[in-house]
Amino acid sequence: MKYLAVTIFSFLCVLFTGCDTHTKDYSDLESISFYNHEGNEITMEELKKDWNETITRASTKDASYEQEIKELKIETIRDNSSNEDYLILVASTSNSNAFSGKVISSFKDGFQLPKETVTCINCGSEFKGELVDGTWICADNGDKIDGCVRASTTSN
């Protein structure tokens, strides 16, 4: 009887701790402070302007496109090799076949943006950026996507 009570108690502890749904809500990006790669706080308008310039420079001879950021959101991504989780800022663009992403890191009271941006073009209807040992690829669960182009750019 004592063994059964301990077993049930252990099961309930695992059940309740395994169902932890306390994740941060990043849906209101306007309430989050963002800092450029130099550590200077920037407005959402400045962030979008700089990013728009960066993704426009990402045009290649194989995938030329004119676009602007339509929507930004924060997601979690797991590195395919190290299994480390990263927060990324993902931009959907006015071109429905182009999505862009940046790994962000905690900084002061918000997040710092890196210099590097990855843009995945003609890879599908959602962001297909993945990390392998910290390096960006555009793929679907590590598998190459026909016609998919990855453009990696750095901001000034």
Encode pLDDT of 138-149 as tens digits: 999 889 999 998
Q: Are 139 and 132 a contacting pair, CB within 8 Å?
A: no
122 compared with 16, residue with greater pLDDT:
122
Output the pTM of the full model.
0.78
82 compared with 58, residue with greater pLDDT:
82
Domains in the chain: boundaries: 29-154
Residue 5 has pLDDT above 50, yes or no: no
Encode pLDDT of 62-81 as tens digits: 455 567 889 999 999 999 99
Encode pLDDT of 12-36 as tens digits: 444 444 444 345 788 899 999 999 9
Query: Using CA atoms, how far apart are residues 129 and 142, in angstroms rounded to an integer?
Result: 10
Helices (H), the chain: 2-18, 44-57
> How many angstroms separate the most distant Cα atoms in the chain?
73
Q: How far is CA 88 from CA 116, 127, 143, in A?
A: 12, 11, 20
Contacts of 89 (CB under 8 A, 6+ apart): 72, 73, 74, 101, 102, 104, 111, 113
